[in-house]
Amino acid sequence: MSSMGAFLLSAGTKGKIYSLQNSRIMIHQPLSGAQGGQTDIGIQVQAPFSFFHLIFCINILFVSNSLYTMII
């Protein structure tokens, strides 16, 4: 399961979130291409990281862990 699936899984009821024994739940790093002027490139580069950070913070609220625990 990856990215959005991991996010949806974390939104489940505590104590009722299950996965198979050998499954891996991952959130991928943001990936994008940039083109245009310098300002446009800066915005295009920053946008996926902002979204990734937002998803990460919401995920932390769902699972009640610290950011440090989530990164490890």
Degrees, nearest 5: CA angle 23-26-28: 150
3 is catalytic: yes
53 is catalytic: no
If one counts every other C-beta atom within 10 angstroms of the C-beta of residue 7, the result is 17
Residue among 10, 19, 23, 28 flagged as catalytic: 28
- What length does the chain have? 72
- Supply the residues annotated as catalytic: 3, 28
